[in-house]
Amino acid sequence: MTIETRWLVYPDGERQETERLLRVDELVDMNGYPLPLPPPGDRMIAYRVFKIRRVEERGELDVLQYLDLVPAAELRALMGR
């Protein structure tokens, strides 16, 4: 039996467990929930999933979902401003 654990890995190296399985290039909020497009505003903390790595050891599978901070200018561009 394999136990799967999903993690959000923030730019500073901090990790937070999550129930969600994300996709590369998906925009998410600071809790790992998808942001609608266009985003609701440019004054928010948003991350983009840039890499997903799977690490398996002795019946445990860790899914590491690496996040990169999205600058406010890029959020403004996504809003069409």
* pLDDT one-digit tens code per residue, 25-47: 999 999 999 998 887 777 789 99
Type of residue at 46: A
* Alpha-carbon torsion angle 55, 18, 10, 27, nearest 10: 110
* pLDDT one-digit tens code per residue, 42-76: 778 999 999 999 999 988 999 999 999 999 888 88
| pTM of structure | 0.87
Type of residue at 71: P
